[in-house]
Amino acid sequence: MSFSCEYTIQFRDTDAAGVVYFANIISICHIGYEASLIDSGIDLKLFVSNPDLAIPITHISADFFKPLYCGDRVTIELTPQQIDNYRFEVKYQILTGDSQTAATAITKHIAIDPTIRKRKELSQLLINWLEQWS
Protein backbone atom coordinates (compact mmCIF):
# COMPACT_ATOMS: atom_id res chain seq x y z
CA MET A 1 0.00 0.00 0.00
CA SER A 2 1.50 3.31 -1.02
CA PHE A 3 1.32 6.56 0.94
CA SER A 4 -0.33 9.65 -0.51
CA CYS A 5 -0.83 13.24 0.54
CA GLU A 6 -2.11 16.42 -1.03
CA TYR A 7 -0.01 19.48 -1.90
CA THR A 8 -0.73 22.82 -3.54
CA ILE A 9 1.97 24.04 -5.92
CA GLN A 10 3.39 27.24 -4.46
CA PHE A 11 4.74 30.32 -6.24
CA ARG A 12 8.19 29.44 -4.87
CA ASP A 13 8.02 26.07 -6.70
CA THR A 14 7.78 27.70 -10.12
CA ASP A 15 10.23 29.28 -12.54
CA ALA A 16 10.03 32.38 -14.76
CA ALA A 17 7.85 30.44 -17.24
CA GLY A 18 5.30 29.87 -14.45
CA VAL A 19 5.73 26.10 -14.24
CA VAL A 20 7.35 23.96 -11.55
CA TYR A 21 11.11 24.38 -11.77
CA PHE A 22 12.65 20.99 -12.54
CA ALA A 23 14.77 20.77 -9.37
CA ASN A 24 11.80 21.60 -7.17
CA ILE A 25 9.98 18.41 -8.08
CA ILE A 26 12.34 16.60 -5.70
CA SER A 27 11.47 19.08 -2.93
CA ILE A 28 7.80 18.38 -3.57
CA CYS A 29 8.48 14.63 -3.40
CA HIS A 30 10.37 15.18 -0.16
CA ILE A 31 7.24 16.76 1.34
CA GLY A 32 5.50 13.43 0.77
CA TYR A 33 8.47 11.52 2.19
CA GLU A 34 8.39 13.59 5.40
CA ALA A 35 4.60 13.25 5.67
CA SER A 36 4.86 9.46 5.35
CA LEU A 37 7.47 9.33 8.12
CA ILE A 38 5.28 11.45 10.40
CA ASP A 39 2.21 9.35 9.57
CA SER A 40 4.19 6.27 10.63
CA GLY A 41 4.88 7.81 14.04
CA ILE A 42 8.48 8.83 13.34
CA ASP A 43 9.56 12.02 15.14
CA LEU A 44 11.28 14.06 12.41
CA LYS A 45 13.35 16.07 14.86
CA LEU A 46 14.81 12.89 16.34
CA PHE A 47 15.08 11.28 12.89
CA VAL A 48 17.31 14.02 11.45
CA SER A 49 19.34 14.57 14.61
CA ASN A 50 20.02 10.90 15.38
CA PRO A 51 23.72 10.63 16.34
CA ASP A 52 23.74 6.91 15.44
CA LEU A 53 22.07 6.90 12.03
CA ALA A 54 21.82 9.16 8.99
CA ILE A 55 19.93 8.44 5.77
CA PRO A 56 21.51 10.43 2.93
CA ILE A 57 20.12 10.33 -0.60
CA THR A 58 22.58 8.73 -3.03
CA HIS A 59 20.61 9.03 -6.27
CA ILE A 60 17.69 10.98 -7.70
CA SER A 61 15.94 10.91 -11.04
CA ALA A 62 12.75 12.47 -12.35
CA ASP A 63 10.60 12.42 -15.46
CA PHE A 64 8.09 15.09 -16.42
CA PHE A 65 4.88 14.51 -18.38
CA LYS A 66 2.70 17.58 -17.79
CA PRO A 67 3.45 21.10 -16.59
CA LEU A 68 2.37 22.05 -13.08
CA TYR A 69 1.40 25.63 -12.27
CA CYS A 70 1.14 27.72 -9.13
CA GLY A 71 -2.14 26.87 -7.39
CA ASP A 72 -2.44 23.39 -8.88
CA ARG A 73 -3.54 20.84 -6.30
CA VAL A 74 -1.59 17.59 -6.65
CA THR A 75 -1.38 14.24 -4.95
CA ILE A 76 2.05 12.98 -3.99
CA GLU A 77 2.06 9.18 -4.00
CA LEU A 78 5.10 7.30 -2.81
CA THR A 79 6.08 3.68 -2.47
CA PRO A 80 9.32 2.79 -0.67
CA GLN A 81 11.11 -0.49 -1.26
CA GLN A 82 14.00 -2.02 0.64
CA ILE A 83 16.96 -2.85 -1.63
CA ASP A 84 19.12 -4.62 0.95
CA ASN A 85 19.96 -4.33 4.67
CA TYR A 86 21.49 -0.87 4.12
CA ARG A 87 19.54 0.75 1.29
CA PHE A 88 16.05 1.57 0.11
CA GLU A 89 14.46 3.51 -2.72
CA VAL A 90 11.32 5.58 -2.90
CA LYS A 91 9.24 5.82 -6.08
CA TYR A 92 7.05 8.89 -6.42
CA GLN A 93 4.15 9.88 -8.64
CA ILE A 94 2.87 13.43 -8.76
CA LEU A 95 -0.76 13.29 -9.87
CA THR A 96 -2.92 16.16 -11.08
CA GLY A 97 -6.43 16.80 -9.80
CA ASP A 98 -7.80 14.58 -12.59
CA SER A 99 -5.40 11.75 -11.60
CA GLN A 100 -3.04 12.19 -14.53
CA THR A 101 0.66 11.64 -13.90
CA ALA A 102 2.48 14.97 -14.12
CA ALA A 103 5.86 13.63 -12.94
CA THR A 104 7.58 10.60 -11.51
CA ALA A 105 10.74 10.43 -9.46
CA ILE A 106 12.98 8.00 -7.63
CA THR A 107 15.26 8.64 -4.68
CA LYS A 108 17.74 6.09 -3.37
CA HIS A 109 18.91 6.23 0.24
CA ILE A 110 21.56 4.51 2.34
CA ALA A 111 21.82 4.12 6.11
CA ILE A 112 25.16 5.24 7.53
CA ASP A 113 26.85 5.87 10.84
CA PRO A 114 27.14 9.68 10.71
CA THR A 115 30.35 9.73 12.76
CA ILE A 116 32.47 7.41 10.65
CA ARG A 117 30.44 7.81 7.40
CA LYS A 118 30.22 4.04 6.83
CA ARG A 119 27.11 2.12 5.87
CA LYS A 120 24.99 0.68 8.63
CA GLU A 121 21.97 -1.60 8.73
CA LEU A 122 18.56 0.05 8.51
CA SER A 123 16.92 0.63 11.87
CA GLN A 124 13.81 -1.29 12.88
CA LEU A 125 11.92 2.00 12.77
CA LEU A 126 12.78 2.40 9.07
CA ILE A 127 12.04 -1.24 8.33
CA ASN A 128 8.59 -0.77 9.90
CA TRP A 129 8.06 2.34 7.72
CA LEU A 130 9.15 0.43 4.61
CA GLU A 131 6.80 -2.43 5.40
CA GLN A 132 3.89 -0.06 6.09
CA TRP A 133 4.07 1.71 2.71
CA SER A 134 5.63 -0.95 0.41
- Which candidate, 31, 13, 29, places its Cα nearest to that of 72? 13
- 114 SS3 class: coil
Active site residue 52: no
| Length, in residues, of the chain | 134
Tell me the Cα Rg of the chain: 15
Q: Is 89 exposed, middle or buried (0-12, 13-18, 19+ CB in 10 A)?
A: middle
Which candidate in 15, 43, 84, 113 is catalytic? 15
Q: Which residues contact 125 (CB under 8 A, 6 or more apart)?
A: 42
Catalytic residue positions, numbered: 15
